[in-house]
Chain A
Amino acid sequence: MKEKIIIGVVLALVVIIGGNFVLPVPRGAIEVAAEPIGLGPVTNAMFTSFLLSLVIIGLAAFVSSGLKEVPTGLQNVVEMVIEALDGLINSIAPKKWAPTFFPILATIFIYLLFCNWFSLLTPLLGSFGIVHPAEHGGIPIEKVYFLKGGPESLHHAEGEQATKAAPSEGEPKAGEDTHEAVVAGHEAGAKETGMKVMIVPLFRAPSSDLNLTFALALISVVLTQVFGVWERGIGYFGNFIRLGGFAKKGPMMGGIDFFVGLLEGVSEFAKIISFSFRLFGNIFAGEVVLIVISSLVSLGLILVFFGLEIFVGVIQAFVFFILSLVFFSMATQHHGEEHH
């Protein structure tokens, strides 16, 4: 058994490192903003997010269809995750609010977990996409494999708006896809030279798009205010406009109190920025690192960065979850300000 594992690992490393020499491809393009793919304003991150939602819903339906009294296998794993989340929420949130918080927070965690881990697939899936003629930069068209219609179609398309979907190699990547590329042959794009194209990837990790992280941050912070008003009525905003200090402690301390209240209000907006940029920065930087490292060194070394990305994905999903939980709980707990 152990010999098989060792042979398998050595073979994989040979394929990975050797594939770099057999099939050299230029480095993929790094775009901060998610690019629209053919269907109107839908970007590749939106498309991937939709697919991931379908995957999560499918997984949930599949697991809940065959529920057993004594859980095994997949049901066991899912129950472990949900129990851990439930325990955490019950330990931090007030008793009457924990059932209300659980759905939104658990959804945030599970959805972000899938989104963040999808960034691991970017070096592989980021090379499938729609091919556009590039005005500046871009890769030479010889490097594009499986171009539907061949390179001539792009010359026709330059006049009109047509773009062809074409799976193609964007970065050096070993394993299955180099096998199919080798089988299909290099001849696909060899005839026309000198024309540069760029590939808009079809898939992109949703949390590497600032739009999604900003949206989730907005949801989280606005929900904090909603829960606060739900629990404490309009007096919740007395947290931000603290006029009580003038009566109780005199003008000086009252002024300081008022200023602190204003600072709390500003810090709510800072939370939106901080939530969105923390998640976006971690995942987007992870994608950039994977793409750049894969073009710098032979792919055996990228495994270390994959490990880091797996870890970072879990941590960032967990941090978003626990920060939202803590802010929700703070909003619904009555502060003992008056009882100093």
Chain B
Amino acid sequence: MSPEALKLLAAGLAMGLGALGPGIGIGILAMGALQAIGRNPDAQGQIQTNMFIAIAFTEAVAIYALVVALILLFVI
């Protein structure tokens, strides 16, 4: 296969596979947060804030994969 085709394939694989983990992770986070809010609606503000912070952490891993894909497409 030509290098161009391999680069495109690699970019696609990087982003696709890299989004699996964080996707599941964010889902689990949201589940935990929603359950906590269900048990204790008064604490919604604090739970929401902490949920956003944790989601930003897990999303960062997907962003790393995106950066790799972008580098494959536009730099190399």
Contacts and interface: CB of A to CB of B under 8 A. Distances in A.
Interface of A: 30-32, 274, 277-278, 280-282, 284-285, 288, 315-316, 318-319, 322-323
Interface stretch (B24-32, B33-41, B56-64): B56-64
B75 A278 contact: no
Contact of A281 (B53, B57, B63): B63
A89 B21 CA distance: 32
A174 to B, nearest CB: 26
B21 to A, nearest CB: 15
A319 B74 contact: no
Closest 9 CB pairs of A and B: A281-B63, A278-B60, A319-B56, A281-B67, A285-B66, A32-B75, A30-B74, A281-B66, A282-B63
B43 interface: no
Interface of B: 52-53, 56-57, 59-60, 63-64, 66-67, 70-71, 74-75
Contacts of B59: 278, 282
Overall SS of chain A's interface:
helix
Given A285-B67, A316-B56, A318-B52, 4 more contacts: A30-B74, A31-B74, A274-B60, A323-B53
A32 B72 CA distance: 11
A31 B75 CA distance: 8
A216 to B, nearest CB: 15
B52 A285 contact: no
Contact of A284 (B56, B57, B60, B70): B70
Given A32-B75, A319-B53, A322-B53, A277 B70 contact: no
B67 A280 contact: yes
B56 A32 contact: no
Contacts of B67: 277, 280-281, 284-285
